[in-house]
Structure 1
Amino acid sequence: MALPVQQQAKYWGIVTVVMLVVLWFLGDVILPFVLGGAIAYCFDPIADRLEAAGFSRTASVTIITLIAVVLFILLILLVIPTLISQTTQLIDTAPQLFDRLRSTLTERFPSLVDSESTVHKQLLAIGEAIQSKGGELLNGVLSSALGLLNVVVLLVIVPVVAFYLLLDWDKMTARIDDLLPRDHVETVRMLARQIDSTLASFIRGQGTVCLVLGTYYAVALMIAGLKFGLIVGFIAGLVTFIPYVGALVGGVLAVGLALFQFWGGTEVIDGETIIQTTNWLRIGIVAGIFFLGQFLEGNILTPKLVGGSVGLHPVWLLFALSVFGSLFGFVGMLVAVPVAAVIGVLTRYGIEHYKGGRLYRGLSTDE
């Protein structure tokens, strides 16, 4: 005989509270294990396919690990130094961007932005704040001994955790299945399949979309001649998991930088005044890159890699990221998507039962 609903709710409530408390106090400690688990979850289907092709589980995981190590080394050697360099240059260039903006506004709207106006002072303050705060943030991340130690720990622990979790993934899922309450095992399995489908569609599919679009934006912008093409592509790809936000943020940043770089004006070099014309073609190419990216995302990448609705509305996802990020920091943001998927699936399951129950249908529907 199953336990009463009140007792079940009490037990599951206790489990939830304990998990939140652990997340609250051990957030930084469990970060490598959360990242390792996420990596193992993403690569498990590849390991399963290699097993189906005739490889053992150990051989499959070893192959995946070797390929990942090679790609990571190439990333460290080829991409990350340029990314850090462009980020530093962008932070240093930010005041010049605002100086150019302020000069343009002064020329076109002199009565609006005179030297004593609020707009003039705010533009100056924003430029100085971005340079100072951005520099402080970058220096803090790169020069902090604790931050460097944490990065080293992550680089060592995360791959080890991911390797062993991926190696024993099927055994762990079988063990968890064996521990499920027997009275509700089929219901839990059904909900788990729905949660896995949602996460697989979103994390694996959308993660691939982010990687493809980020690479496309970075390469295309650098070919177009944009000075900070790599960092703009990285930012755009990073936030592509929120529909339209990646293209909007990256597009505004890229077009703004293109206007700064290719906009005409006068420049004094060695005592001579040189007039530069506006390169509208380059500016149009930068804008066209993001329009093409949006077309590829909406019509090819997302339908093929993510599929239809995955049950995670952008507003709900933003809310989950904001709440868990503010409560539990970076670890909270990592677990926000899985938690949002679980809550979404449980909510839909509850709504289905509610619509089939007497509270919704009323007494008039009783036979």
Structure 2
Amino acid sequence: MTLRRQLQFWALSLIAFIAFLMVFSQVLLPFVAGMAVAYLLDPVCDRLEKLGMNRLWATLTILLVFVALLVLFFILVLPVLGNQLAGFLQKLPELVNKLQGLVSSNIGERLTHMTGFKVDDLQSSMGDIIKQGASWIGELLKSVWSGGQALLSVLSLFVITPVVAFYLLLDWDNMVARIDSWLPRPHVDEIRGLAREMDGAVAGFVRGQVSVCVLLGLFYAIGLALTGLNFGLLIGIGAGLISFIPFVGASLGFIVSMGVALVQFWPDWTMIAAVGLVFAVGQFLEGNVFQPKLVGESTGLHPVVLMFALFAFGYLFGFVGMLIAVPAAAMIGVLARFALRQYLASPLYTGTGRISAASEE
């Protein structure tokens, strides 16, 4: 097969894969979640096999523990979060009005004196910002919901996802060997090397980032709860879970928590500063402890690229797109670096082909 035919084959395969995702994105959520669970737990299953447990019992043990922990979370934590979320949404207009009045009465006069910016203009600007933020969040939630609403239910996530994860985890090594047997023999070593590089990038980031999100969510939730902040558990866990988007989780959690703290604790600056200190310590731990130890530079991708991938895939494929955004970006990054290495070693970059041709003439 000529190079042109190969490029055509892979381009058509990529187009078919993207079309498949777009057509079936509304029913893929439990299957993609099952694949993610199997991928995350495969190293644990391999470790149990090395300890003498056969694959079937290792798979059953891991999935039973995983499902039990998930059920405990939904039974013990989810009701509390649901109540806080309902209360937060109910009091949100009141919180916004109080925050506007607080900022206008305490900062408006100084701002007017220093800049000539009127209090009414400040209130109007704050209202516009809040409306724009609410509209953006609404569009994001709408996109996420529309991408997974067909099977976004407790039944699908608690029944289909564990079943998919069980069969994939049980047959994981056989599937990898079968796919390996399909590789074109002349390029098998090169493809295996790229696959190992992709696996290292995806596994290192996903497994590490899941740990970082959980640890940050626990830290923020406990820290905000200890300060006595209203809805502290909800804000803390939410900020931790959104931390897989670089800078967004901490920034959004800080803004929301400081707004609630100003309304709740004003004029007690000590408690307001304590809320800010929770996020300052959290950012220090994330940047100097959690990220270097658990994630490192595993993906080789710039944070801006990761943010773009999350928003782009989320816009195109909904919630399923957000699940596959980071692995897909990491794989594309590996292929891009491979293409760059090939280019830097080619006569197109070095010009050696032209030099040799000229010498022959």
TM-score when scaled to structure 2? 0.87
Query: How far apart are residue 178 of structure 1 and its match?
Result: 0.9
Please tell me the residue identity of whatever aligns with 1:329: G
CA distance in 2 between partners of 1:23 and 1:147 (Å): 14
Q: Could you say what secondary structure the match of 1:55 adopts?
A: coil
The match for 1:242 is: 245
| Alpha carbons 2:26, 2:151 under 8 Å: kept | no
Query: How far apart are residue 81 of structure 1 and its match?
Result: 0.8
Match of 1:328 among 314, 317, 323: 317
Query: How far apart are residue 109 of structure 1 and its match?
Result: 2.3
Q: Higher helix proportion, which one?
A: 2
Match of 1:227 among 220, 226, 230: 230
| Alpha carbons 1:37, 1:161 under 8 Å: kept | yes
| Alpha carbons 1:354, 1:360 under 8 Å: kept | yes
Query: How far apart are residue 341 of structure 1 and its match?
Result: 1.0
Deviations 1:125-145 (A, max 9, x none): 77689899999999xx99xxx
Once structures 1 and 2 are overlaid, which stretch shifts more, 75-84 or 128-137? 128-137
1:42 is the counterpart of 2:40: yes
Once structures 1 and 2 are overlaid, which stretch shifts more, 320-329 or 167-176? 320-329
Q: Could you say what secondary structure the match of 1:157 adopts?
A: helix
The match for 2:288 is: 299
The match for 2:256 is: 253
CA distance in 1 between partners of 2:9 and 2:140 (Å): 43
Unaligned 5+ runs, structure 2: none
CA distance in 1 between partners of 2:339 and 2:27 (Å): 34
Please tell me the residue identity of whatever aligns with 2:8: K
Please tell me the residue identity of whatever aligns with 1:32: P
CA distance in 1 between partners of 2:183 and 2:317 (Å): 28
The match for 1:271 is: none
The match for 2:300 is: 311
| Alpha carbons 2:59, 2:170 under 8 Å: kept | yes
| Alpha carbons 2:38, 2:169 under 8 Å: kept | yes
Q: Could you say what secondary structure the match of 2:243 adopts?
A: coil
Could you say if the C-alpha distance between residues 5 and 321 of structure 1 is closer, same or farther in structure 2, counting changes exceeding 3 Å?
Answer: same
Match of 1:31 among 26, 29, 38: 29
Could you say if the C-alpha distance between residues 300 and 147 of structure 1 is closer, same or farther in structure 2, counting changes exceeding 3 Å?
Answer: same
CA distance in 2 between partners of 1:321 and 1:76 (Å): 26
The match for 2:343 is: 354
Residues 135-150 of structure 1: matches in 2 within 5 Å? 150=153
Could you say if the C-alpha distance between residues 45 and 365 of structure 1 is closer, same or farther in structure 2, counting changes exceeding 3 Å?
Answer: farther
Q: Could you say what secondary structure the match of 1:240 adopts?
A: helix
1:337 is the counterpart of 2:326: yes
Could you say if the C-alpha distance between residues 244 and 324 of structure 1 is closer, same or farther in structure 2, counting changes exceeding 3 Å?
Answer: closer
Residues 47-86 of structure 1: matches in 2 within 5 Å? 47-86=45-84
Could you say if the C-alpha distance between residues 189 and 157 of structure 1 is closer, same or farther in structure 2, counting changes exceeding 3 Å?
Answer: same
Deviations 1:196-225 (A, max 9, x none): 000011100111111111111112211221
The match for 1:267 is: none
Once structures 1 and 2 are overlaid, which stretch shifts more, 105-114 or 19-28? 105-114
1:284 is the counterpart of 2:276: no
Could you say if the C-alpha distance between residues 118 and 335 of structure 1 is closer, same or farther in structure 2, counting changes exceeding 3 Å?
Answer: same
CA distance in 1 between partners of 2:245 and 2:136 (Å): 26
CA distance in 1 between partners of 2:300 and 2:134 (Å): 40
Match of 1:201 among 201, 204, 211: 204
CA distance in 1 between partners of 2:139 and 2:313 (Å): 25
Query: How far apart are residue 239 of structure 1 and its match?
Result: 2.1
Please tell me the residue identity of whatever aligns with 1:21: A
Deviations 1:304-340 (A, max 9, x none): 2113353121111112222222222222222211211
Please tell me the residue identity of whatever aligns with 1:224: T
Query: How far apart are residue 121 of structure 1 and its match?
Result: 4.6
TM-score when scaled to structure 1? 0.85
CA distance in 1 between partners of 2:136 and 2:193 (Å): 49
| Alpha carbons 1:199, 1:341 under 8 Å: kept | yes
CA distance in 2 between partners of 1:149 and 1:286 (Å): 34
| Alpha carbons 1:95, 1:128 under 8 Å: kept | no
The match for 1:100 is: 98
| Alpha carbons 2:95, 2:263 under 8 Å: kept | yes
CA distance in 2 between partners of 1:262 and 1:333 (Å): 37
| Alpha carbons 1:94, 1:130 under 8 Å: kept | no
Aligned length: 345
Unaligned 5+ runs, structure 1: 265-277
1:4 is the counterpart of 2:7: no
| Alpha carbons 1:217, 1:290 under 8 Å: kept | yes
Q: Percent identity?
A: 46
Match of 1:22 among 9, 20, 23: 20
| Alpha carbons 2:216, 2:240 under 8 Å: kept | yes
Bigger relative CO (Cα 8 Å, ≥ 6 apart): 2
CA distance in 1 between partners of 2:124 and 2:254 (Å): 27
